[in-house]
Amino acid sequence: MKKLILSLAIISAIFTGCSSSSDDAPVLATGDITGTFTANKTFAKGNYTLKGIVKVASGVTLTFDAGSTITCDKGTGDNAFVILNGGKAIMNGTASEPIVFTEKSEVPGSWGGIIMYGDAPIKGAGGLTTLLSEDGNSLNYGGTNAAHNGGTLKYVRVEYAGAKLADGQKENNGFTFYSCGTGTTLDHLVSYKGADDGYEFFGGTVSMTNAISYGNYDDAFDWQDGWQGQNNTNWYAYQEVKGNFGMEIEASGNNNTFFPKVEGVTLKRAAGCTPEDNASIEIDAFQFKKEGNGEFNNVIVDGYGTYTVNATTYNGAIVKIQDVTTNTNQVTGAKIKVTNTKISNTTQTTPIGATGSIVVSFPVGNFTTSTTTTGASLTAGTWASVKGASLIK
């Protein structure tokens, strides 16, 4: 009996000695993410290094666990995360543990951001249904698969993007979506301090919910090629230091019968924020050109005031129509609606044309104001914070 008791005591001591203290921090995974992935892979929660133009091939799913941080270094060359048409990225972050893509130097414009390709319908200049991407990858986009599914990006933040890749025609954005479809989930995303647009859509049918564009040098939100997302909600932009339009909206010169819809929009411009190019006058909340259109309801606009350059003062507007054709077909044709809008610290509080020859007159009910508008409704938290500072001002 004494031997049995002694044996049990020894076993108990062994297991007690081997148990982990509740204060021990978990060991996070590490490693490089590089090349083109041709087989499914899951990255456990960890701190990873992204090297080069990383691509997810068609038929392949790449999964990232919540709380992961993926860092690249512009000193090593071009970097970007690209989901090719037919590939999927599953990024299910959470409000308390977002998935973060960032860059070592923390300088805007240091990498190419997240780029997703699909085969949903587009309508490019001249009515073209396929085009070549301008991001440096030079890949075709466009197709007939309105339900394209590029995966799930949920609670994902992209920081310091906007670099030009290879011989790309222009800088990339925080998030770039080439003809992505309704099967793709875009929810609770943050584009933080990039050198180009926060988000840009090149055609497609995908929608985006609960999105923050913070401190991006060009436009907070931008699209072309007949993007027609129908279920967009809660878009929030805060422009500081440098920034152009809150939204730059065009349809590549096509008088489309369709248009995107966004419910709950907040566009804020900090005092002292100047256009990206000091010679430009891109200081309006909404700019429509090349047959751009859309419905926007429950909108807050604040801070789009005056800007002086070379002794000339320009007046920021709630809505600016850039060309006669857009005014005729989209405004008069009732394909642009900006309703229940609360406007403050903005010089032109009614829609105007870019020149005196463009006389803008919205049909009754298509441009309305409200004092009770709430704009984008977002819940603050870790997902919407950087270094402890909330991005929701």
> Is the pLDDT at 174 greater than 50, yes or no?
yes
Return d(Cα 80, Cα 133) in angstroms, integer. Answer: 15
Q: Which is it for strands 29-37 and 319-321: parallel, antiparallel or unpaired?
A: unpaired
What pLDDT, on a 0 to 100 scale, did the predictor assign at position 311? 85
pLDDT band at 279 (very low <50, low <70, confident <90, very high): low
Region 31-36: mean pLDDT is 98
Region 63-75: mean pLDDT is 98
Structural contact between residues 344 and 302, judged by C-beta atoms closer than 8 angstroms: yes
Exposed, middle or buried by CB within 10 Å (0-12, 13-18, 19+), for 238? buried
What pLDDT, on a 0 to 100 scale, did the predictor assign at position 319? 98
> Is the pLDDT at 15 greater than 70, yes or no?
no
What pLDDT, on a 0 to 100 scale, did the predictor assign at position 23? 58
pLDDT band at 22 (very low <50, low <70, confident <90, very high): very low
Residue/partner pairs of 27-34 with CB below 8 Å, 24 or more apart: 33/70
pLDDT band at 299 (very low <50, low <70, confident <90, very high): very high
CA 380 to chain centre: 18
pLDDT in tens, 336-372: 999 999 999 999 999 999 999 999 999 999 999 999 9
pTM to 2 decimals?
0.93
Region 123-142: mean pLDDT is 97
What pLDDT, on a 0 to 100 scale, did the predictor assign at position 253? 98
> Is the pLDDT at 263 greater than 70, yes or no?
yes
> Is the pLDDT at 42 greater than 60, yes or no?
yes
Helix H or strand E segment including 336: strand 336-344
pLDDT band at 130 (very low <50, low <70, confident <90, very high): very high
Return d(Cα 253, Cα 72) in angstroms, integer. Answer: 37
pLDDT in tens, 88-105: 999 999 999 999 999 999
